[in-house]
Each structure stands twice: as structure tokens, then as C-alpha cells.
């Protein structure tokens, strides 16, 4: 029996979220602890999708999931196949709306699964195009960083509209990721920054430039392996994001708790206003202490990752 399988991991933004929308650089990491998996099998008639957020016919997907329908239809179109006679089962362990790139990851796994089902090679450029279809629905004007981060197995240096570059990571990074459990609306946060750029151009543009400089510093510090200085850069970038208006009390509290429990740096990650934060620590021991403190503070879920030149997950 014919079967197609598609997999895609989630992502973390180490630094540069929001400013990346304005042509500034950002650094993203693959996050393999949570991922999406799509299984494609033959069936009769209309295409159906089974998942934890929707179960039914593709044609009846609710408005906010139309992006997924377009990815599936476009993938069939490129394969010169009719949109019928198969069923999709999607399993995603990525919490939705937490800045972990769930929408991009789901789109990538759907595209990969459908191409695998039709036994057709999926080029990187077509994969990018398909993920963009869904991202445009989910986020309005995405920079494209989520797309690159979920399809890459390496940390990436990203500038909108340019080819991604891989980056050098000299010392292993011990990172704790904590989910506040609260949904952050990336679309709304991006729009709010844009509105602020109109109403307070000077302050806002200065913050975006500060974030650009911090991101460039972070790249250098990753290369030289100066973790303490890198931690400081990450925390400073959180302060800038806070000033931009995309943090919230809960995220600020987790950042403070991480720092007072030995993290060398901490910040929100992704769209903000809820969602997840990351803490950089100098050792495994320290990482586990920070993780315990964040769980005690009420974090819904935490993960420990060790990043070398690629990402390894514990």
C-alpha cells in the first residue's frame, strides 16, 4: 500500500525576532524536541485531514486553517495529481502559538508527506514556496525566518530576501526553553511594532538598529565562544524587545528568574506576548537548575537543548 511520510522540526530564534521583519539579520536554530509528522494514505473520495486541531474534509477547514488547504492543493497541482483519494494524518507535538514555528513546520511536513506519497522529489525551492503559502495566511507578512529555520538542520543567519548562511558555534550552548503556556499572537505583535514605527519612528527605528547590532555581536560571540558576553547580548536584546512592546509580565518574570538562578542570559523567543523564552547557561548543571526554577515558577513545559554546530536534544 502506498504511503507518504513528511517530517519537520520546530524552531527557536536565538536573536533578531521582529527586527528581522525590517531587513535586519536574525539567528535561528532548529529545535528538534518538538516536531510535526504527516502520514499520507490512499482513501476514496474527498481528501480528509485528521489532527488534534481539526478532523474532517479538507474543503471544510475553518478560515484560519485555509493556508494548510492551499499548501495541500498546490502540492497536488505541482505533482499534476487531483486533490482526492488520499487522507492525511498529522501529528504535531509543537505547541501552537508559542513562537516555535508550528505553522511553518506543519506546512513543511505536509509538503514533504505529499511529495513522498506521489514519489516525487521535493526541491528546496519548491518546499520554500509551499511553506510560504501557509505562512502568508498565518502571519500576513512573514520575514521567512520560520520557513528557513524549520527546513534547516543547522543554525542559520537570516536576512529577509537573501540566501541563508550557516554560522559557526565554537562552544556548546546549553539552552533551556520554557513555555509560558500562553498563546502569543505573532501577527498582532508584528502589526503592533509596525504601528509604533509609524507613530514613534525615531525611538522605534533606534530599537530596531540596536537589535541589529546585538545580533551581529551575537554572531561574533558564537564564533569566539564567549558565552558570558553572549548571554549579556541576549538579555540586552530582551530589554530592547520589551521596549518595542512585544514582551509581557510573564516573560519578563521568567527572564528574571532565569538570571537569578544562574543563567548567563535570557530572552523571549519568537513573536512574544506570551509563548516561549530561552535561557542560556554555562553548563548542564546550571541549565538544570534554571529549568527547575522555571518549572517551579509555573512554566507549562520546558526543554533542555545542547547546541554545537548542529542541534542535539536531550
Instruction: Output the nine-digit C-alpha cell for 1.
Output: 500500500
CA–CA distance, 107 with 211 (Å, rounded to integer)? 29
Beta carbon of residue 141, minimum distance to ligand MEV (angstroms, whole number): 7
Stretch that binds ligand MEV, among 53-61, 141-149, 213-221, 302-310 (CB under 6 A): 141-149
181 three-state secondary structure: coil
**Half-sphere CA count of 300, side-chain side, radius 13 A:** 14
The answer to whether residue 179 forms part of the interface with ligand MEV (CB under 6 A) is no
The answer to whether residue 18 forms part of the interface with ligand MEV (CB under 6 A) is yes
**Half-sphere CA count of 96, side-chain side, radius 13 A:** 10
Instruction: Provide the mask over 87-116, with x wherever binding to ligand MEV is found by CB under 6 A and - wherever it is not.
Output: ------------x-----------------
Instruction: Evaluate whether 194 touches 140 at the Cβ level (below 8 Å).
Output: no
26 three-state secondary structure: strand
Beta carbon of residue 13, minimum distance to ligand MEV (angstroms, whole number): 5
Q: Tell me how crowded residue 92 is: count the other CB atoms within 10 A of its CB.
A: 20
Beta carbon of residue 153, minimum distance to ligand MEV (angstroms, whole number): 18
Nearer to ligand MEV by C-beta: 135 or 291?
Answer: 135
Beta carbon of residue 104, minimum distance to ligand MEV (angstroms, whole number): 8
Instruction: Evaluate whether 82 touches 12 at the Cβ level (below 8 Å).
Output: no
3-state SS string for 120-149: CCCCHHHHHHHHHHHHHHHHCCCCCHHHHH
Instruction: Find the binding residues for ligand MEV in span 32-71 (CB under 6 A).
Output: none
Instruction: Find the binding residues for ligand MEV in span 251-310 (CB under 6 A).
Output: 270-271
Stretch that binds ligand MEV, among 12-20, 84-92, 166-174, 176-184 (CB under 6 A): 12-20
Nearer to ligand MEV by C-beta: 6 or 99?
Answer: 99
- How many residues bind ligand MEV (CB under 6 A)? The answer is 15
Residues with Cβ within 8 Å of residue 188, at least 6 apart in sequence: 273
The answer to whether residue 30 forms part of the interface with ligand MEV (CB under 6 A) is no
Q: Tell me how crowded residue 120 is: count the other CB atoms within 10 A of its CB.
A: 16
User: Measuring CA to CA, how many Å separate 182 from each of 10, 185, 249, 250, 314?
Assistant: 18, 10, 12, 9, 24
Q: Across the chain, how many H-helices and E-strands are there?
A: 9, 12
The answer to whether residue 10 forms part of the interface with ligand MEV (CB under 6 A) is no
Nearer to ligand MEV by C-beta: 26 or 72?
Answer: 26
The answer to whether residue 142 forms part of the interface with ligand MEV (CB under 6 A) is yes
Beta carbon of residue 189, minimum distance to ligand MEV (angstroms, whole number): 6
The answer to whether residue 21 forms part of the interface with ligand MEV (CB under 6 A) is yes
Nearer to ligand MEV by C-beta: 9 or 39?
Answer: 9
Q: What residues line the site for ligand MEV (CB under 6 A)? A: 13, 17-18, 20-21, 99, 139, 142-143, 145-146, 186, 190, 270-271
Amino acid at each position: 500500500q502506498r504511503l507518504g511520510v513528511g517530517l519537520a522540526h520546530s524552531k527557536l530564534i536565538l536573536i533578531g525576532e521582529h527586527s528581522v521583519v525590517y531587513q535586519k539579520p536574525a539567528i535561528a536554530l532548529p529545535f528538534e524536541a518538538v516536531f510535526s509528522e504527516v502520514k499520507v494514505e490512499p482513501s476514496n473520495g474527498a481528501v480528509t485531514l485528521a489532527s488534534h486541531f481539526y478532523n474532517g474534509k479538507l474543503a471544510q477547514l475553518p478560515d484560519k486553517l485555509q493556508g494548510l488547504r492551499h499548501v495541500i492543493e498546490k502540492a497536488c497541482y505541482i505533482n499534476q495529481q487531483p486533490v482526492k483519494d488520499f487522507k492525511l494524518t498529522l501529528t504535531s507535538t509543537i505547541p501552537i502559538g508559542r513562537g516555535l514555528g508550528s505553522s511553518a513546520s506543519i506546512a513543511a511536513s505536509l509538503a514533504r508527506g505529499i511529495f513522498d506519497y506521489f514519489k516525487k522529489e521535493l526541491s528546496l525551492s519548491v518546499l520554500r514556496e509551499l511553506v510560504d503559502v501557509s505562512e502568508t495566511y498565518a502571519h500576513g507578512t512573514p520575514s521567512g525566518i520560520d520557513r528557513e529555520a524549520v527546513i534547516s538542520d543547522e543554525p542559520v543567519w537570516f536576512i529577509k530576501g537573501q540566501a541563508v548562511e550557516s554560522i559557526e558555534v565554537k562552544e556548546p550552548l546549553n539552552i533551556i526553553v520554557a513555555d509560558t503556556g500562553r498563546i502569543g499572537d505573532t501577527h498582532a505583535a508584528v502589526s503592533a511594532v509596525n504601528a509604533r514605527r509609524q507613530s514613534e519612528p525615531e525611538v522605534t527605528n533606534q530599537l530596531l538598529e540596536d537589535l541589529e547590532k546585538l545580533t551581529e555581536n551575537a554572531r561574533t560571540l558564537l564564533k569566539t565562544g564567549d558565552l558570558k558576553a553572549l548571554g549579556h547580548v541576549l538579555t540586552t536584546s530582551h530589554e530592547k524587545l520589551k521596549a518595542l512592546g512585544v514582551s509581557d509580565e510573564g516573560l519578563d518574570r521568567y527572564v528574571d528568574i532565569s538570571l537569578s538562578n544562574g543563567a548567563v542570559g535570557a530572552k523571549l523567543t519568537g513573536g512574544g506576548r506570551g509563548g516561549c523564552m530561552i535561557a542560556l547557561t554555562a553548563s548542564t548543571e546550571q541549565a538544570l537548575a534554571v529549568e527547575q526554577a522555571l518549572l517551579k515558577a509555573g512554566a507549562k513545559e520546558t526543554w533542555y537543548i545542547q547546541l554545537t554546530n548542529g542541534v542535539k536534544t536531550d
